[in-house]
């Protein structure tokens, strides 16, 4: 029987995402100047105020206030009427040194024996329903907000847009779990107060449908474009006007959008947030590694849909388990447990091996902090950073390495797939 599945996304101007981006900007700057830095930074944003807290072990000094303001300005909170503005908001830092009790469980004489920074379980997921092996509802939700942000920053159309926004997409699936149509799209976007309420809301809805959605469709393959029928129900700012938003409308905290950050409710989530953490925290690094495994397995043809779980004990290098669920979609004549045994031999899941394989001790995390940590193209970039003394450093990085299909050949060989 056909069923509906929904996923949501939030924009870079959403208060929780503002917090994530500030936290990851700090992580990147610490790693740029001291790749061995241990970082766990939390951010709170509210009306006219930013609070930074957390634990850091690093040889570098940063001007964290300036780094927070840089992020806020880049997002677009640059007007006093937003009640949260880059240069006038207060920034309070309560960052202190990492506990030596935690650090002793991570660092080892041999780097290969590096222990996990915490206990816990992490999940990775992939499906072949989209080109980037992501769930379709979440992929479309991200794309809508990315287009909305691009339009806002270009400043040529929809000039009333403000930074805070959310989207939600509901997909109808058939009995074979294939998407057949888009049932509904929800977009709530912050805006200037530019007309009478009824006319203003009508204009925003018209612009979302006639400007934003066509831009989203244009970037999709034809089979997905066909899902955009005339029968889609659009809810645009369904509560009415949305002038008060951002950190003035809602307090934002690092790590409160973990489902948006991953798979939109598909697969599973271990509960650990990503932003603000260096890669010794397996909440982050192992979640990326399991996505890398799942994506390469699906791309290699092991199954149409795969969930990978890994778990750790704090201070211990070897995972306590690796689990695979193919949801009955396996294309190889093996049980999920047998697939897991193969995976364990192909992918070294010790924390140091993950860091090395995916090049995670580079300042690559700011890009992940909005519009999802998964499903984004890997790119080589040259980035510039400034420390607290004014020293400037340029670093060559490769982003989203866990999205690369660099293990497909190894997987095919191991599973004897032609």
Q: Are 5 and 171 in contact (CB under 8 A)?
A: yes
Q: Which residues are annotated as a binding site for K(+)?
A: 42
Q: Are 39 and 176 in contact (CB under 8 A)?
A: no
3-state SS, residue 216: helix
Q: Which residues are annotated as a binding site for ATP?
A: 14, 164-166, 241-242, 250, 256-257, 273, 277
Q: Which residues are annotated as a binding site?
A: 14, 16, 42, 55, 98, 164-166, 241-242, 250, 256-257, 273, 277, 281
Rounded to 5°, the CA angle 82-83-84 comes to: 85
Q: Which residues are annotated as a binding site for Mg(2+)?
A: 16
Q: Which residues are annotated as a binding site for L-methionine?
A: 55, 98, 250, 281
């Amino acid at each position: 029987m056909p069923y509906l599945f929904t996923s949501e996304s939030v924009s870079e101007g959403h208060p929780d995402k503002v917090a994530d981006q500030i936290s990851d900007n700090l992580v990147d700057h610490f790693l740029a100047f001291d790749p061995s830095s241990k970082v766990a930074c939390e951010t709170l944003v509210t009306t006219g105020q930013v609070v930074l807290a957390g634990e850091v072990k690093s040889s570098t000094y940063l001007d964290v206030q300036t780094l927070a303001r840089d992020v806020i300005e880049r997002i677009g909170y640059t007007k006093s009427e937003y009640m949260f503005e880059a240069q006038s908001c207060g920034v309070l830092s309560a960052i202190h040194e990492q506990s030596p009790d935690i650090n002793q469980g991570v660092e080892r004489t041999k780097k290969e024996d590096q222990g996990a920074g915490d206990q816990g379980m992490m999940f990775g997921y992939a499906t072949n329903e989209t080109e980037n092996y992501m769930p379709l509802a979440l992929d479309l939700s991200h794309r809508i907000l990315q287009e909305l942000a691009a339009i806002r920053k270009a400043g040529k159309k929809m000039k009333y847009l403000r930074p805070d926004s959310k989207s939600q997409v509901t997909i109808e699936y058939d009995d074979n779990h294939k998407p057949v149509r888009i049932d509904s799209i929800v977009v709530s976007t912050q805006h200037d107060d530019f007309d009478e309420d009824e006319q203003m809301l009508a204009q925003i809805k018209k612009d979302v449908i006639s400007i934003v959605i066509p831009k989203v469709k244009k970037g999709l393959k034809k089979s997905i474009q066909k899902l955009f029928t005339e029968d889609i129900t659009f809810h645009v700012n369904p509560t009415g006007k949305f002038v008060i938003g951002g950190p003035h409308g809602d307090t934002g905290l690092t790590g409160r959008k973990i489902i948006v950050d991953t798979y939109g409710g598909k697969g599973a989530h271990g509960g650990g947030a990503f932003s603000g953490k260096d890669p010794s925290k397996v909440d982050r690094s192992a979640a990326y590694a399991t996505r890398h495994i799942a994506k390469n397995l699906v791309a290699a043809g092991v199954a149409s849909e795969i969930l990978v779980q890994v778990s750790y004990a704090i201070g211990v290098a070897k995972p306590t388990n690796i689990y695979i669920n193919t949801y009955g979609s396996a294309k190889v004549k093996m049980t999920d447990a047998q697939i897991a045994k193969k995976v364990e031999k192909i992918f070294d899941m010790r924390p140091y091996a993950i860091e090395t394989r995916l090049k995670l001790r580079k300042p690559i995390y700011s890009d992940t902090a909005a519009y999802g940590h998964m499903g984004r193209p890997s790119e080589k970039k040259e980035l510039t950073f400034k420390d607290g003394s004014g020293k400037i450093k340029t670093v060559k990085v490769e982003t989203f390495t866990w999205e690369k299909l660099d293990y497909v050949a190894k997987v095919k060989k191991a599973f004897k797939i032609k």
